Structure formats: structure tokens, C-alpha cells
Amino acid sequence: MKNHLYEYRKFVLGGIALAIVVCYIVRLAFLQLSDEEYKSRADNNAFFNNIIFPARGAIYDRNDSLLVFNQPAYDIMVIMREINHLDTLDFCNTIGITRQQFDERMALIKDRNKNPGYSTYTQQLFMPQISAQEYGIFQEKMFRFHGFYLRERTIRRYATDHCAHILGDVAEVSSAEVEKDDYYDPGDYIGKQGVERSYEPELRGVKGVEILLRDSRGRIQGHYRNGELDRKPVPGKNITLSIDAKLQALGERLMEGKMGAIVAIEPKTGEILCMVSAPSYDPHRMEGKQRGMQMMEMQRDPMKPMLNRAISGTYPPGSTFKTSQGLTFLQEGIITSSTAYPCSRGFRFGGMKVGCHGHGSPLPLIPAIATSCNGYFCWGLYHMLNNRQKYKTIQEAMTTWKDYMVSMGFGYKLGVDLPGEARGMIPNADYYDRRLGKWNALGVISIAIGQGEVTLTPLQIANLGATIANRGYYITPHIVKKIEGGELADSLLVKHKTKVDKQYYQMVAEGMRKAVLGGTCRGANNPNYAVCGKTGTAQNRGKDHSAFMGFAPMDDPKIAVAVYVENGGFGATYGVPIGALIMEQYITGELSKNSQAKAEMFRQRHIDYGTRAR
């Protein structure tokens, strides 16, 4: 009789054997086709991918003067699994480090928290940016140090002592930056600040690669497929800035020993001609391996030299803001060119007092701008906020006022092509409802003269000057003029029209012209071209800030400028003369002998910031 038990056992054993074979086949297929780690190990046994870094794009000023260039440098790389019988003492002596430094660097490379992309099969950065002399010494002895390689790259060098906040700097990528962008590997370099950061994709180029064959001992035998699969690097694009290097240098000299900013704009294009933040620093301090130490030192400095005050500093604009108020009141029909308001040494009503200097009274708009009358603009805002024939509530009136300010480029970022821009502060009705509860025009009257809650950046004040120069529009201020083989972003070329008609801008420009001819800006007058200006003396807990905003020539503006000197006192003390020198240098191409003497005087005139500087 047939034994079915043995018959079934045969099928079971056969099925188990078949299942084992299938499992092995599936596992082998997974390892060879899907497992990236296995593939990486196999490839690294046979191939060596030599990354070739592209030359980073150079940076020029508007007159094609070189500002930033590249210089050859070398990194020491290591592949951990290839280290074999390393004479650590000889290695350390060769590259000039201690055994402790060697151990610390090795531990850092292997720390997956700080080096997420770590693999024993891929190149890791051991020491960046060794000098040409160190390179020569190491190359001669490299055959002794299995697993260590030299990688050629370039580092940034600066051809100028100026423009530090504009140019920015380059440094090693962080782990977060590596995870964010597949282009980067640990040890790569990336723009960290300024133009180097905001135009990183254009400047960095595209990496190349050489695929080299190894023998069984890891020795390079030549190019795989005679280099058919090699990829040449694509150099980064050169960039031309809108900055005038000579104008920038003058601005930085004039701001020595001071805190504040200068911004100059070409009104017709929105191109930034100079952007000074004081105190500044020499960009050479951010070159090479010294960058980290220098950066820590400057970050501890109470004067904050790394802060770009031109776009990140927010200040009360003071009387420069009155021009925007006059424009708003005209457009809304609150005033006409002949409307006159009294000024009894300031605005005085209902127990509220806002002081002012002595001048004629009552007076209409144009003389009010020329003399920088506080009373006039306080009365204008008072009548606007309390006009119940035009606005149902004070909240509606305040919202209308805010909308005019926003249309002029206040309260939000202008969109300059540099990192770190601040938006400033333009209060609205909701802000006062939350903060004050029940409020009235007298409680917020100081915003009419650029005080109270209102703050602007120096860039926004300069842009106000450019808008008046253009009689009602501005182009987004930008620092880059041209990209080699590329185009500027559309957002940088947009013409922004304000809510105010051109005819009213002409009235304000006339008031600013009279301020130069016989008002608060007399120090800016130049017989060779018509200057329009407006001073600002912004109240502060300590000494007032000195501000100036202007443009020239009046009917064919080539430059609009804003100067802001912290604790500089009256606008005419620092703001006006510095602004006048900036305009003269750009319009005429040089300073007269008399102006050169003035420039030297203001360069040497420092401001005592007391304990803040210590």
C-alpha cells in the first residue's frame, strides 16, 4: 500500500528548499539593484569620483572695477576605510597640527549628528584651505598617507577694503544647508551674507566630476571609459553691481567714527549707487580660515559692525517723513497748496504740545516744508483723522492714511536683493485699538512728523527721495545691475506707482528746493546743479539723530540720497553736509578742493557714544 505521508513530506521539503533559493535571489537582487549603500560600496571599490569645483563668479562695480575674485586653495580629504598603517605622528608633523587636533577632527567627521552624510566609503573634509606651501609639502609625502587626498578649489579674495556689508562672504556649509540643497556636500562652501548669499545660485556654478578607475589595492589606474562620462565644471556667472566703488569709499570715509547709514539710489532705475553702514569692517577679515575667529570677535563688539544698518536698522525718520504727509493731505483734499496753518513754536491744542523752532506763521505747504514746520503737519493729520464728512470713523481715516504710506514703500520690505531687510513700522487702526483702546487724533499726532510709532530703514528714506524725484513712482531698489548671461528678477524692475498724483509731487519738490535755497538744508546748495532736500532731527532717548533726504538735479534727477547719523543732533549738523558731498561726488565725478577739505573734516569728526562703544 502506498505511503502518502512520505509523498507529502517530499513536497514540503522541496517547497522549503525552493523558498530558501527564492529568498536568496530576492536578497541578492535587492542588494545589487535597490540598496544604495551596497551600490556605493561596490562603486567605491572600483571607481573614484574626483569632484572638480567650478570657479565662483567674480563681482564688479558699475564701472567694471573688480571687487571680488578667486584664488587657488586646497583641501585635505580622507576616505576612512582606505586608511592603512598611518604614521599619525609623521602625518601631524607634515601638516602642522597636534595629535589632539587630529583626534578631534577625526571624531568630528565620524559624528553623524554633526556630519549627517558621513560614510567610510566617501570623501570627507579633513582640513580646508591649506596654503600653497603646505600643499607642496603634503603632496610630496602623500604616498605615505593612504586614504588621504588633495582636492583643488578656489577661495574668495577681495580687491577692495570697502563694501563689506554689500559683498558678504563665503564659508563652509552647515548640516542644515546640506540637507536643504542636494548640490552641497559636507565641506562645500556657500555664500553666507550679502550678494554672495542672495545670488548664490548664479555665483556658484556647477560642479564637474572625473570618474577614475581603481585597481584591487585602490590605486588610480586612469579615467573610466577614457573620460567619456567625465563632466566638466561650469563656472559661476560674473555679476556687476550697481554700486559706484569710489562713491562707496567716500561714504565709508565720511561715516568713520559714527553709527548710521548712507543710501544713494539712481531714481530712474532703482539701482543703488552706494550703501554704507557704519561702523563697518574690512572684508579681508572674512577671508580664509580666519573667518570664524574674526566673526566671533565682531559679534561681541557692542558697536555691532556686522549689522547692515542701511537695510536692517529701523529708525524714526523725523522730519524727512513730513514730505509723505504733505502728499497724503494734498491727494485726500485735506489741504491745498494755499492752505495755511499756525505754528506758535509748535502744535498746541487740547493740552497737547509738539514743539518747533521759530519761523513765520501761519504758512502754507511749500514754506512749511522749507522751514520744516512741526505745527503745519500736526494740524494736517489732526484735520484728516477728525474729518467725519470724508471718513465715518477715525479707524477709517487711519486706514486710509496707512494705505498711502504703504503705497510709498513704508511698513513692508521693499524687496531689495540683499538678505536681512527689515520692514520698519507703520501703525494702523487695529494697532491703536489693541494698544490704546479708545484713542483720538491728539494721542497719535507725533506720527505726522516721523516720530511716535513710525520707523523706517535708511533704504526706505532714500527710496522716498527717489519717489519724489520721479514725481510719484519708484523702481524696486536693487544692488545688482547685470548678471553675465542672465537677467535680473522681474520683481527688481517693477515700477511702483503711489496713490498720489504727479502734480502734488511737484509741489513737494518745490518745497524741498526752497529748503536748500533758504531753509534748513542751505548747506546742501551747489551752484552747479539744483539740489532738493529735507532735513530730519529724530528725537531719541539720548542725543537726537541727524537725518537728511534729498535728490539732484531737481528736474533731471540722477541721484537720491538718505543720510542717517545716530546721535548726530540736528539734521543740518551731519546729515546735510554728508549728503551734499555724496551728491557732488556722483554728479560731477569728483569733489572740489573746498569739498575735499569738508570731507576730511567730517571724516575726523567722531561722535562719542560713551559706554555703548565700550
Residue 24 has pLDDT above 70, yes or no: no
Mean pLDDT, the chain, rounded, equals 90
Report the predicted TM-score, pTM, of the whole model to 2 decimal places.
Answer: 0.87
Residue 23 has pLDDT above 80, yes or no: no
Residue pointed to by grid coordinates 532714500? 462
Residue 614 has pLDDT above 50, yes or no: no
Average pLDDT over residues 463-483: 98
| pLDDT for the residue 45 | 56
| pLDDT for the residue 216 | 57
Query: Quick check: bond before 279 cis, omega within 30?
Result: yes
| pLDDT for the residue 613 | 43
Residues 291-312 pLDDT 10s: 888 889 999 999 999 999 999 9
Average pLDDT over residues 360-378: 94
| pLDDT for the residue 133 | 83
Question: Per-domain residue ranges for the chain?
Answer: 50-241, 245-281+306-613
Task: Supply the DSSP symbol for 456.
Answer: B
Lowest mean pLDDT among 63-77, 464-478, 504-518: 63-77
Sequence-separated (6 or more) residues with CB below 8 Å from residue 603: 253, 254, 256, 257
Query: Quick check: do 50-241 and 245-281+306-613 share a fold?
Result: no
Residue 39 has pLDDT above 70, yes or no: no
CB 343 within 8 A of CB 353: no
| pLDDT for the residue 209 | 87
| pLDDT for the residue 221 | 61
Residue 429 has pLDDT above 60, yes or no: yes
Average pLDDT over residues 309-336: 97
- Cα–Cα distances in Å, from 539 out to 426, 533, 550? 17, 20, 20
Distance, in Å, from the CA atom of 260 to the CA atom of 41, rounded to the nearest integer, reads 57
- Cα–Cα distances in Å, from 577 out to 526, 544, 595? 11, 17, 10
CB 603 within 8 A of CB 581: no
Residues 211-224 pLDDT 10s: 877 665 555 666 67
For 44, the enclosing helix (H) or strand (E) is helix 36-46
Q: What are phi and psi of 145, to 5 degrees?
A: -110, 80
Which runs of consecutive H residues, i.e. helices, occur in 266-313? 291-300, 309-312
| Residue that wins the pLDDT comparison between 180 and 541 | 180
Q: Name the grid cell of 237.
A: 556667472
Residues 80-128 pLDDT 10s: 988 988 999 999 999 889 999 999 999 998 988 888 768 887 788 898 8
**CATH code of the domain made up of 50-241:** 3.90.1310.10
Average pLDDT over residues 423-437: 96
Which residue from 501, 558, 564, 570 is spatially nearest to 532, judged by alpha carbons? 558
In the chain, % of residues over pLDDT 90: 67
Q: Which amino acid is at 396?
A: E
CB 121 within 8 A of CB 115: no
| pLDDT for the residue 115 | 81
Count of C-beta atoms within a 10 Å radius of residue 567? 20
**CATH code of the domain made up of 245-281+306-613:** 3.40.710.10
Which residue from 165, 167, 166, 187 is spatially nearest to 177, judged by alpha carbons? 187
Residues 570-585 pLDDT 10s: 998 999 999 999 999 9
Residue 225 has pLDDT above 80, yes or no: no
Residue 185 has pLDDT above 70, yes or no: yes
| Residue that wins the pLDDT comparison between 429 and 50 | 429
Query: Quick check: bond before 233 cis, omega within 30?
Result: no
